[in-house]
């Protein structure tokens, strides 16, 4: 079938009471992105002509999160059938496919949506069904003798025989825009919940001689999030899938179940990620890099063949070049570290640029903040910063310069110089032995 125009209507007016949250349910993140954002990534692939979201409380939160989305308010909320009615004005005269989705059912794949739109070629309503492990309180899809969908019955209204049906309603539907609102007008609230059930559309369409069809989904694709527990389940599904994708693309995960990705993590080929690594948003890892155990990365770029961790923390604005090493208990923030540079142990490098091949000794700290403003540290190519150095920004250490261990550097160091700020060491031969003798004698006298 020639691709027809699509409109999406996302229902999100429910109160989300079971989340016990001040944040709108559909804005709770999965892998760092609002759950409804995952859904909208999929709908975007269908290039919808209209995208409408039906909201109740929390409209401002949603509009702030998605400024371009057209929101319509349903108040009061009298059921899913009532909710879709609020798209009427926006879809005036639209005769393409209308895809109805739930904002709290974020993982419906674009391919499934497309299959539903395509199925409208020889159907008037298409329902996304699935067979869950536990059919619980889902609406049941009732099929006729010929196997065609005849109606949907809500759990509350179902007989025991109907409840025994395992094919369930995911809630996702595709219908034709030209008849949708006429059909919706026929929905009543004569049911156990006194709600306007969208699911009644199936019988309504059939009563006027229309055909209803079912497209089947995997249970994980239609998971609905109503509680924090289900949110965690959705996160687990996302992570499981993302780990699988990473490995399929040539990334080694030694213990996949302990690695957590962000929705936007980008990984090259032959990257190795050791156990217990967490990716926040905005991380790219180039080919051959190793992310060692217990590291946390966000807003960072890791260059080709770089080694990060174990126990490293890369914060936003970190850009590591090729073969860079960032070792244990090192924190970086807004730090450009050029090819081959090493920051191997116990350091904080923030608001800094480190030249190629520079070596930053253990315990080096960039003192970038005076309580009011942040300042920059620049370290030249091939510079060597001795251990336990405080670099008091703004400060520049020149190319090839050496900073003696234990220095507090507050003035620029010119290229090739040695800078050292600690006081000269003095030595008193025999002093320690004499000291011990005196003290021992004193102690004996006291206890006598």
Which residue among 74, 262, 353, 368 contacts ligand UD1 (CB under 6 A)?
74
- Please state, in angstroms and rounded to a whole number, the distance separating the CA atoms of residues 414 and 254: 45
How many angstroms separate the CA atoms of 218 and 383, rounded? Answer: 57
**Is 36 an interacting residue with respect to ligand UD1 (CB under 6 A)?**
no
Q: Give the closest residue to 300 by CA, choosing from 281, 326, 325.
A: 281
Strands 307-308 and 149-153, by their bridges, are unpaired
Query: Could you say which of 216, 263, 296, 345 is catalytic?
Result: 345
Q: Of 360, 352, 325, give the one whose Cα is nearest residue 339.
A: 325
Q: Are residues 8 and 43 in contact, defined by beta-carbon separation less than 8 angstroms? A: yes
User: Looking at beta carbons only, is 201 or 297 nearer to ligand UD1?
Assistant: 201
Segment near ligand UD1 (CB under 6 A); pick from 60-68, 72-80, 89-97, 109-117: 72-80
Reply yes or no on whether 82 is catalytic: no
Pick 152 or 314: Cβ nearer ligand UD1: 152
The helix/strand/coil state of 188 is coil
Cα(101)–Cα(128) distance, integer angstroms: 10
Q: Does 290 bind ligand UD1 (CB under 6 A)?
A: no
Q: Which of 24, 28, 82, 179 binds ligand UD1 (CB under 6 A)?
A: 82
Asked if 141 is part of the footprint of ligand UD1 (rule: CB under 6 A), the reply reads no
Determine how many CB atoms are found less than 10 A away from the CB of residue 443: 10
Cα 57 to the center of its chain, rounded Å: 24
Report if residue 79 touches ligand UD1, rule: CB under 6 A.
yes
Of residues 215-234, those binding ligand UD1 (CB under 6 A)? 224
350 binds ligand UD1 (CB under 6 A): no
Residue 182: count other Cβ atoms within 10 Å of its Cβ: 10
Q: Which of 286, 339, 292 is nearest to 313 (CA)?
A: 292
| 143 is a site residue for ligand UD1 (CB under 6 A) | no
- Tell whether residue 83 is a contact of ligand UD1 (CB under 6 A): yes
Which residue, 107 or 197, is less far from ligand UD1 as judged by CB? 197
Q: Does 138 bind ligand UD1 (CB under 6 A)?
A: yes
Which is closer to ligand UD1, CB of 138 or CB of 279?
A: 138
Torsions phi, psi for 346 (to 5 deg): 50, 50
Out of 171, 309, 327, 398, the only residue in the binding site for ligand UD1 (CB under 6 A) is: 171
Nearest to 103 by CA among 13, 220, 165: 13
Give the residue with the Cβ less far from ligand UD1, 104 or 124.
104
**Total residues contacting ligand UD1 (rule CB under 6 A)?**
27
* Nearer CB in complex with ligand UD1: 13/125: 13
Helix (H) or strand (E) holding 111: helix 110-119
Of 102, 107, 260, 348, the one binding ligand UD1 (CB under 6 A) is 102
For ligand UD1, give the closer residue by CB, 127 or 330.
Answer: 127
- 155 Cβ contact list (under 8 Å, min separation 6): 136, 137, 138, 139, 140, 163
Cα–Cα distance measured from residue 419 to residue 68, given in angstroms and rounded to the nearest whole number: 56
User: Does residue 37 touch ligand UD1 according to CB under 6 A?
Assistant: no
- Residue closer to ligand UD1 (CB basis): 103 or 398: 103
For residue 156, give every residue at least 6 positions away whose Cβ sits within 8 Å of its Cβ, in sequence order, or none. Answer: 137, 191, 192, 193
Q: Is 77 in the site for ligand UD1 (CB under 6 A)?
A: yes
Q: Which of 106, 129, 139, 280 binds ligand UD1 (CB under 6 A)?
A: 139
54 touches ligand UD1 (CB under 6 A): yes
Specify which residues 332 forms β-bridges with.
314, 349
11 binds ligand UD1 (CB under 6 A): yes
Part of the chain binding ligand UD1 (CB under 6 A), chosen from 27-35, 71-79, 125-133, 318-326: 71-79
> Is 366 a binder of ligand UD1 (CB under 6 A)?
no
Rounded Cα–Cα distance for residues 217 and 408 (Å): 63
Residues labelled as active-site residues: 345
Where along the sequence are the contacts to ligand UD1 (CB under 6 A)? 11-14, 54, 74, 77-80, 82-83, 102-104, 138-139, 152, 154, 168-171, 197-199, 224
């Amino acid at each position: 079938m020639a691709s027809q125009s699509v409109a999406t209507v996302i229902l999100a007016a429910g109160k989300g009471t079971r989340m016990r949250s001040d944040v709108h349910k559909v804005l709770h993140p999965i892998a760092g992105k609002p759950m409804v954002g995952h859904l909208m990534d999929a709908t975007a692939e269908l290039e919808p002509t209209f995208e409408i979201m039906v909201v109740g409380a929390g409209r401002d939160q949603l509009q702030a999160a998605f400024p371009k989305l057209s929101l319509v308010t349903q108040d009061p909320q009298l059921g899913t059938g009532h909710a879709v009615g609020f798209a009427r004005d926006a879809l005036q005269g639209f005769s393409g496919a209308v895809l109805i989705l739930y904002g709290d059912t974020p993982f419906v794949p674009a391919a499934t949506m497309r299959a539903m739109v395509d199925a409208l070629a020889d159907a008037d309503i298409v329902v996304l069904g699935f067979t869950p492990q536990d059919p619980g309180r889902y609406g049941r899809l009732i099929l006729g003798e010929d196997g065609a969908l005849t109606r949907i019955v809500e759990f509350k209204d179902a007989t025991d025989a109907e409840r025994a049906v395992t094919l369930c309603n995911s809630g996702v539907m595709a219908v034709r825009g030209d008849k949708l609102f006429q059909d919706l007008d026929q929905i009543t609230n004569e049911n156990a919940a006194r709600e306007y059930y969208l699911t009644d559309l199936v019988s309504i369409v059939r009563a006027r001689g229309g055909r209803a069809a079912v497209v089947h989904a995997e249970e994980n694709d239609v998971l609905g999030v109503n509680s924090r527990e289900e949110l965690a389940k959705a996160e687990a599904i996302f992570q499981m899938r993302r780990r699988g994708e990473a490995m399929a693309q040539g990334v080694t995960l030694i213990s996949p179940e302990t690695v957590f990705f962000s929705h936007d993590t980008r990984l090259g080929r032959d990257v190795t990620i050791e156990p217990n690594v967490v990716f926040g948003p905005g991380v790219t890892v180039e080919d051959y890099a190793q992310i060692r155990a217990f590291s946390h990365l966000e807003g960072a770029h890791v260059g080709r063949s770089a080694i990060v961790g174990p126990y490293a923390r890369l914060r936003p604005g970190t850009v590591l070049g090729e073969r860079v090493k960032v070792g244990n208990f090192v924190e970086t923030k807004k730090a450009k570290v050029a090819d081959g540079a090493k920051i191997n142990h116990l350091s904080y490098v923030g608001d800094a640029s480190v030249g190629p091949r520079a070596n930053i000794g253990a315990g080096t700290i960039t003192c970038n903040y005076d309580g009011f403003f942040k300042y920059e540290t620049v370290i030249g190519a091939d510079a060597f910063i001795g251990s336990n150095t405080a670099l008091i920004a703004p400060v520049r250490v020149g190319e090839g310069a050496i900073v003696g261990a234990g220095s507090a550097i507050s003035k620029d160091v010119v290229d090739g110089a040695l800078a050292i700020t600690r006081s000269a060491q003095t030595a008193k031969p025999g002093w320690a032995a004499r000291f011990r003798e005196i003290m021992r004698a004193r102690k004996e006298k006291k206890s006598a």
